[in-house]
Copies of this chain bind each other. A is one copy, B any other.
């Protein structure tokens, strides 16, 4: 058995089931080991940003890491933007990155680069295998690091000789997420705040937004009058009819400030303290009310759901069913013009139960989020780190994580171009993903920001850099060119028919919403 085999066996023993890859010569022995390990499914991406985004989507939906297998520094470099998003999402990911043997590095061959330094900014853990014998233990160390709380990106550099040289299998415990316990004093403080008769927000993020945390938070809210809040971009919202309502903070800082103005206190569970997404001249970065008291009850290393359950207990919150979102679908708008609003209503009307929505819709998706509020329970995955090109890859990984569930990807055309190669993987793996491309032919968010920055009559030269036209992209061809059937819709009726048809058929589809 060589090091590659011992590594893959250890990772499979530790629970890895999927490996998203675009390998090269330095990874051939790892690929061969994958082919010999039936418990890990290799999935090919035609660009590494597809692999890392898919691993993020997989990890968000399962809580378990997928592996990526990448070709030296350049392969990792191409994966970094979506690893940045995964880091912000707190997603567990195990990166395996091939490298030259240490003996070859003094020769400085063309593909050599400083892989560990490239990996550091996105990784909570970086390691380099020193020998074939050490490789499986290093793989398990990466796996354990990925499962730390918050889930994190763990990157292991694998020199080719460590993969091809002799090694032995190692015994594997089943690594499980490890949480730090909540501090009693923090809990007591939260109870005092909730009993103080002051408007209080319960800001949930990360795992606290999954159903157990949500339900505990709802009991607290019912007992105390606190309001459940979240940041704009969450790794995963569990939402829909029958689930507690979460008030999501608006994106723009002045609107977030308005929403937060009423709260004199904020109790934070697994979330980042709200701040402005960008800075602007002559504009405060603060979005909290002046003097708002912030109490971080559960940091990222703690199990927010358990902390919330303990808080509900300490508060004496009842066990009765708290108020939840009413089942409600928008009217199917007929004959109306196709707008982001009417698209949102159609999606709200048709979204199936247990759907997973991968949302990188930028300025176009707000109405879809609203329109699905009372739809059957579903998951909603956001662009966590602001690095565009996440939507289609995350949808790909989510579909592999949850066979049998429909995945709907809401994708702006600007971001879609970044990682369009993910459509090919969806075709090859026959995944049930429907990608709605909001084709407004511009980076609209930038044009909005331009106005906000005071460029009210911007020069043509400025607008040119934010414009996807000249020539217009033909998304039907770009999808069909990768084996994904596609339809362009320019009317509400056309869009509704296309979405209904795509929902009824297996396999991937693209619907181009012509705005």
Contacts and interface: CB of A to CB of B under 8 A. Distances in A.
A128 B393 CA distance: 32
Given A32-B458, A385-B110, A478 B482 contact: yes
A114 interface: yes
A473 to B, nearest CB: 6
A455 B28 contact: yes
Interface in A382-397: 384-389
A465 B114 contact: no
A196 interface: no
A480 B480 CA distance: 11
A42 interface: yes
Interface string A262-301: 0000000000110111110100010000000000000000
B279 A100 contact: yes
Interface string A112-151: 0110011011100000000000000000000000000000
A126 to B, nearest CB: 12
Interface centre among A29, A32, A279 (most CB of B within 10 A): A279
Contacts of A107: 273, 275-276, 285
A78 interface: yes
A176 interface: no
A285 B105 CA distance: 11
Interface string A217-243: 000000000000000010000000000
A279 B101 contact: yes
A195 interface: no
A309 to B, nearest CB: 28
Given A35-B459, A47-B417, A459-B35, A23 B465 contact: yes
A390 to B, nearest CB: 10
Contacts of A414: 46
A24 interface: yes
State the number of copies, please: 2
Contact of A386 (B111, B467, B470, B472): B111
Interface stretch (A348-356, A373-381, A445-453): A445-453
A164 interface: yes
B110 A121 contact: no
A172 interface: no
A104 interface: yes
A420 B418 CA distance: 10
A461 B118 contact: no
A453 B101 CA distance: 15
Interface stretch (A181-189, A325-333, A421-429, A492-500): A421-429
Contact of A110 (B277, B285, B455): B277
A84 B73 contact: yes
A122 B113 contact: yes
B450 A28 contact: yes
A26 interface: yes
A307 to B, nearest CB: 22
A428 B471 contact: yes
Interface string A37-55: 0000010101101000000
Contacts of A29: 453
A240 B492 CA distance: 59
Interface string A470-486: 11111111101111000
Contact of A35 (B24, B417, B461): B461
Nearest to A428: B470
Contacts of A22: 465
12 contacts: A24-B446, A25-B446, A46-B468, A74-B388, A100-B279, A108-B272, A110-B386, A111-B278, A113-B121, A418-B421, A424-B471, A478-B478
Given A42-B464, A42-B465, A88-B110, 9 more contacts: A26-B278, A29-B453, A35-B460, A46-B414, A74-B84, A74-B387, A101-B279, A108-B275, A161-B279
